[in-house]
Structures are given as structure tokens and as C-alpha cells.
Copies of this chain bind each other. A is one copy, B any other.
Amino acid sequence: MKKLNELTYGIVGLGLMGGSIAKAIREYVLSKHGSTGRILSSSRNLSSLKMAKDQNVIDEFYPLDKADDMLSQCDFVFVCLYPHMTVEFIVDHKNAFKSGSILTDINGVKAEIFDRMDEIRREDIDFIPGHPMAGREKEGYSFSSGDIFKNHNYILMPLKESRKENIDLFKSLVTEIGFSRIVETDGRVHDHKIAFTSQLCHVLASCLVDSAENSDVTQFGGGSFEDLTRIAMINAPLWTELFLANKNELLSHIESFENSLTTLKNFIKNDDAKGCESYLENVRTKRLEMSRIDVKNEN
């Protein structure tokens, strides 16, 4: 099996996520004595590339129009672009990838990727779609950090033709850089689940902020409002893309949520203390069970 600290990594798009992946690989995989691995990056943002080179996070950089020169050297490529650019980039540079290399993306919605798999696939490249479930409320390379992945989930969606040794290599990399749980699934299940745990949460947090009378409400906050709305410091163009790309799944979860809200609202409206308390007891039990599943998986 290939050794992680001897590979050449290529990071396409050096923003918050690309930068964080590069930093984590540098820190946790390539900083070992005797390592011959390298990190290359190609991005439209030249100043981020230069900063990353100065910080010794990457070894070499390539402007986006020279990406082919990088891809031909890389054993493991992370495409960390905005969702709408991901498939375009892979298809446009299809012939540049190094034969036998592993390719992955970080898109939060996989529908387009799986729909256009025929255009993307090259037989001698192992494309393994992935989704690192981590992030920050800030954009850009300057906010990236190699430590944002600790105790987070990585979702892998190997194709049926993906080679086991490559999947294993991917998993060991993900574990090395901090992720504590790897979930394997397919694109359809991913988009359905993510619409709930990620997109619906961003919708609700945003609507909660939108419905605030004014900005001084935090004077009356006890932490709940702040916790619920931290993700509302949102990257508007990115999340607009994600919401629309996963529209049907998201709308169906929004409607389930609206039904749950109507039920609880009616208990309150009708002064139905018994109904309200039993609803909340069920919620408590369910949420505690979720924590137990988490703890179980961490052990």
C-alpha cells in the first residue's frame, strides 16, 4: 500500500476548506522525519497561494490556468471549489490527472456529481466523492486551520469500481488529519441526510435571525440564541448554491419541521400542558439517544 507521507497531494481551490486540508496534511502527515510527500495547490487566488507557500503549508503553487501542470504530478487530488465549479473543473481537466491517482471533492450536495458521473469518470482514476463535515463561520484561506476537523465526521461515497486499497488509504488519511468517524454511504442517502443535519439547520438559524426584531436581543440571551444562530454568519453565495442544488430534499425536511412546529404551537395555543410535556419528554429521550449514538461511535 502507498504511504501517506510519500504522496504528492494536489489541492484545487485554496480557501477555508482547501487551506485547512493542506494545513492538516502538512501538520499531521508530512511533518514526519524522512517524509518525501509534497503538497501542491492551484487556485484563482494568487495571494492565498503565496501566503501558503511562505508559511510552508504548500510546496509549490500553480495559477488556475496552469492547473494541468500540477494535476499530472499528484497522487491524491482534493477539489475544494464552490459546488457549481467542481464538476466543470474535473471535466475540463479530465485528461491532466495522473494515471492511478485518487480524486475527491468536498461538495455538500452530490446530486450533480452522480448525475454527471459518465462525463467525470476516467477508468484509470479512482474518483471517490467525499464530504468533510466541518467548517467555520469565516471564509477564505486566512481563516483556515489544520485543527477544524478534530472529532468531526467524514462521509465517503465510493463508487462500485473504487479500489479497496484506495478507499483504505483515503480513510487512513482522514483519520490522521483528525476526523473521528467515517461514514460510507451513497450520494442519494448523503443528500437526503445532509439536507436535514446541515442545510435545514442553516435555514432555521437564518430564519431565526431574520425574525429578530433588532440586533440588541443578545442582551437578553442566555447562550441558546447564540448557539442556534452561530451558523447564520453564513456564506450567502455558497449556501444559496447548496440550498438550490438540494432543493427537493431540503423542502421536504422544511415541511416536516413545519408540521412539528405546528403540533407544538397548538399545544401551547390550547394551554395543553399534558400534550406539551409529553411532546418535550419524547424530544428529550430522542436527543439523549442521539448523544449516546455519538458517544458510542467515539469510543
Q: Does residue A135 face the partner (Cβ distance < 8 Å to B)?
A: yes
Q: Give the nearest-CB partner of A236 in chain B.
A: B280
Distance in angstroms from A206 CB to nearest chain B CB is: 5
Q: Flag if B260 contacts A221 (CB, 8 Å).
A: no
Q: Which of A6-14, A52-60, A159-167, A283-291 contacts B (4 or more CB under 8 A)?
A: A283-291
What is the copy number of this chain in the assembly?
Answer: 2
Contacts of A35 in B (CB 8 A): none
Q: Does residue A234 face the partner (Cβ distance < 8 Å to B)?
A: yes
Distance in angstroms from A116 CB to nearest chain B CB is: 19
Q: Flag if A244 contacts B273 (CB, 8 Å).
A: yes
Q: Please, what's the 1-or-0 string for A192-222, where 1 marks a CB less than 8 Å from any CB in chain B?
A: 0110111011111111111111011111111
Q: Flag if B198 contacts A224 (CB, 8 Å).
A: yes
CA distance A179 to B271 in the complex (A): 34
Q: Please, what's the 1-or-0 string for A255-269, where 1 marks a CB less than 8 Å from any CB in chain B?
A: 011111101110011
Taking residues whose C-beta sits less than 8 angstroms from the other chain, chain A's interface range is: 35 or more
- Interface contacts beyond A209-B290, A234-B280: sample of 17 additional A-B pairs, CB < 8 Å, sorted by A: A194-B220, A196-B212, A196-B220, A197-B224, A198-B221, A201-B228, A204-B208, A204-B261, A209-B287, A211-B257, A234-B284, A234-B287, A236-B281, A243-B268, A243-B276, A247-B268, A251-B269
- Of all A-B residue pairs in the complex, the 7 with the closest CB atoms, nearest first, are A133-B222, A236-B280, A193-B220, A201-B224, A207-B260, A210-B260, A211-B260
